Amino acid sequence: MVDKEKKVVDYEKLKRTVEVGVRMQDNVIDATPYFLEENKKQALGERRIGLGVMGLADLLIYCEKEYGSKEGNQLVDELFKTIATTAYRASIELAKEKGSFPFLVGETEEETMKLREAFIHTGYMKNMPEDIRQDILKYGIRNSHLLTVAPTGSTGTMIGVSTGLEPYFSFSYYRSGRLGKFIEVKADIVQEYLDKHPEADPNNLPHWFVTAMDLSPEAHADVQCIIQRWVDSSLSKTVNAPRGYTVEQVQKVYERLWRGGAKGGTVYVDGSRDAQVLTLKAEEHAVEEQLELLPEEPKKRAVALVETIPDLRATDVTIGSEVGNICPVCREGTVEEIGGCNTCTSCGAQLKCGL
């Protein structure tokens, strides 16, 4: 969607793509086999679709705009406004052609007008241009909801673009996979830039090559809220926070999301789980290294906790989901094969099944 030479968004191409996407997804509703009558009634009644995006971070890089910056946010706002208004206009045109979604149609013309009035006075619709609101009153609309942003983690990685609306986690990172613990992933867009600019330093890229961990959690939250304004359903976004981020700081981020109009939010503090999908290094941080990164009071509590836990690496005890292991859930029972599943003999947790 970007003219790479002019470094601007091709809005006409974007609009045509959105129009085709809305019609295609509306057709999918009718082509889908529904196995439960309740599902069929709901899907055909509201005709909800979910047009999303992938590669937003790439688009900003091609336009030489920094993700999370004032200029970057202005472009993101204009981009999603274009997607939203185009999608709604396309759905109105479909309503002229095929009729409104049934839940917006009353038994009488008066009931239908009341439903349309209620629809255009929802919080989301109040942000829409007046011509769209008036056209819905006059013609109705084909779909109750049109937009979302899915995470697209695997598909984005597979085809070499940034995933969903996220910035790159890093331009060179490791992803945990089923075929091995770590798979190195390098962003194609960096190599593309270096090929065009052989004089560039790969370790000192221009400022618009920003990563998730370069951004403050507040910047992450603000981008989410800007996009949510133009998305009628929910969207997937992770607010990345550095190691040592406190509970109080996390609370402030959630409050910022709420004030900004987000429907929900995810704050992930780096290193807060014993395993994570994305990491900057293939090796694990030592406990001592992690403790050094904590503020003084949390560090004291963490040291006290670590000192009470026996070092299992110094014993022959194995905690895991294989037969004979100590149960990773209760840490008391052993794992045995029961009924085709590796099951804890103490808490009964089914850890691994053959089916």
Residue 284 — pLDDT band, cuts 50, 70, 90? very low
- 47-61, 245-259, 335-349: lowest mean pLDDT where? 335-349
Confidence of residue 184 (pLDDT cuts 50, 70, 90): low
Q: Between 13 and 304, where is the model more confident?
A: 13
Mean pLDDT of 316-337: 80
* Opening angle at CA 282, ends 277 and 286, nearest 5: 100
What is the layout of strands, in order, in the sheet containing 335-338? 335-338, 341-344, 350-353
Contacts 24+ apart (CB under 8 A), 54-57: 54/152, 54/155, 54/156, 54/161, 54/162, 54/163, 54/164, 55/156, 55/161, 55/162, 56/162, 56/164, 56/165, 56/166, 57/162, 57/166, 57/167, 57/168
Write the CB contacts of 30 (distance below 8 Å, at least 6 apart in sequence).
44
For residues 241, 245, 247 and 249, what is the CA-based torsion angle, rounded to 10 degrees? -70
Which positions ≥6 away from 6 have C-beta within 8 Å?
A: none
Cα distance between residue 252 and residue 218, in whole Å? 9
Count how many residues are written for the chain: 355
Average pLDDT over residues 164-188: 74
- pLDDT at position 313 is 40
pLDDT of res. 308: 42
Mean local confidence (pLDDT), 90-109: 98
Q: How far is CA 107 from CA 97, 110, 113, in A?
A: 20, 8, 11
Report phi then psi at 177, rounded to 5: -135, 170
Structure tokens at 218: 């507040």
